[in-house]
Structures are given as C-alpha cells and as structure tokens.
Amino acid sequence: MNRKIGIPLFCATAFLQGMVFYGPIATLYRQARGVSVFQITLIESISLACLIALEIPWGYVADRIGYRRTLAACNVLYFLSKIVFWRAEGFGGFLLERLMLSAVLSGLSGCDSAYLFSLAGEGESQKAFGAYEASATAGLVAASLLFSTAVGGDFDAAGFLTVLSYGAAMVLTFFLPEVPPPARRSAGFGTRAGEAAREVWDNRRFLLFLAAAALLTESNQTITVFLSQLQYVRGGGGARRAELAL
C-alpha cells in the first residue's frame, strides 16, 4: 500500500517543485529587483558554502526524526523560500532566499533518494528513480511553456505562480506514507562529525575531486541559468519582453 500511494505522491511533488515559472527569466527577475550580476554570483558562492556546511547536521537530524519528517520540514522551508524570493528586493532579500534554499537542498540531499528507495524496494528502485526525475523535468518544461504562452513576461506573476506550485507540493508532502526509519547510530553529533573530519583528512585527494566537482557544477549552474539569459537578450531574443518587464 505504501508503494502504491507513496511513489505517485512523491512524483507529483517533484513535478510541482519542477514548476519554477521564473526559470526562463531568473537573471532578469533579479536585475529588475535591484541585484547585479556580480551580486548574483556572490550569492551563489555563499549559498554553495552553506549547503556544504549543512550536509552533516542535516544527516544527523534525518537519523533522529526519520525521512518523512525531514522531507516535510524541508518542503515547508522550500515553500517559505519561494515567498521570500517573490517579495525580495535587493541583495539582502535574495541572499536570505538563497540561504534558506541551501538549508533545504542540504536537507533533501540523500534523504529524498533514501525515502524513495524505501518505498520502491531494491527491485523497483531504478524504475521509481526514473519516474521521479522525469516528473521533475516535466514540471520544468511545463512551467517554461506556460511562462511563454500564458504569463507573458509578467515577472511578479511568475514569482507568485511558483509560490502556489511549491505550496501545493508542500501540502502533498504531508500525505506521504511512513517508511521504516533509518538505523540510528549510538554516537552523538560531535563524535560523528569528528569521524567525518578524519575520513576527509585521510582521503585528501578525494576531497580535491569533490571540490572540483562542486566547482564544475556551480560553474555550469551560473553559465546555463544566469549568464546565458543575458546573452539571449543581447542577441535580440525576447528583448522587447525584457525591456517591458524591466
């Protein structure tokens, strides 16, 4: 029963959270609210550092309260972060939104896949993960199409519709079924953090690989999401719409 209810609900949540209506104008949206491109990249750098720093604490919390409660807490914060984004003005507002998002993503990291694996079981896990990723991508595509055909360059409406989508995703999270809790370790947070630090120190070359992967991912995010939109406008694509919105 858990599998029949949980997997479709979880995929529906992924679809709704993929519907970021301001995605096609993420850079222009921020510029219209008083944030420069340099400030955008600075916010992204701070966000990445916070995300990495919160990975271990969130893992400890997930072990204590379970996957479902962790997902619910993260999705509540996810919803609140979209409200902050929608109403943000200037560097401080968008920095706050990104810090909230860092807390969300570090909490969901590993927890969402562990929860889905618990629902699907080892034999059906690949199929479940495929459906989950496809749902998120479908949500993003649907939001982009709706932005082009219905929203029509209205920045405020794009932010508000994203808030509604994430609010619906948050509500669905409350109906997710319970799964067996993760095995708890007797060691406290300080002990586990020390163990992780020692493992990192003993595998310093692997740490360099992780740092390089993180920088590559962040560079890809900055270029494909933020800088590419500036080039699109500079080339004349959507220029009139951007001028009207700005």
- In whole angstroms, give the CA distance from residue 220 to residue 22: 19
Query: What is the value of pTM for the model shown?
Result: 0.84
Q: What's the mean pLDDT when you consider all of the chain?
A: 85
The answer, yes or no, to whether residue 242 has pLDDT greater than 50, is: no
Q: What is the CATH number of domain 2-181?
A: 1.20.1250.20
The answer, yes or no, to whether residue 157 has pLDDT greater than 80, is: yes
Q: Burial level of 116, CB count in 10 A (0-12/13-18/19+)?
A: buried
The answer, yes or no, to whether residue 88 has pLDDT greater than 50, is: yes
- In whole angstroms, give the CA distance from residue 61 to residue 123: 28
The predicted pLDDT at position 232 comes to: 72
Name the pLDDT band for 74 (thresholds 50, 70, 90).
very high
Tens of pLDDT, residue by residue over 164-200, are 999 999 999 999 998 887 666 555 556 666 666 677 6
Per-domain boundaries in the chain:
2-181
- In whole angstroms, give the CA distance from residue 32 to residue 162: 17
The predicted pLDDT at position 58 comes to: 87
Residue-wise burial string across 139-173, b where 16 or more C-beta atoms lie within 10 A, e elsewhere:
bbebbbeebeeebebbbeebbbbbbebbbbbbebb
Name the pLDDT band for 3 (thresholds 50, 70, 90).
low
Tens of pLDDT, residue by residue over 224-236, are 778 888 877 777 6
The predicted pLDDT at position 195 comes to: 67
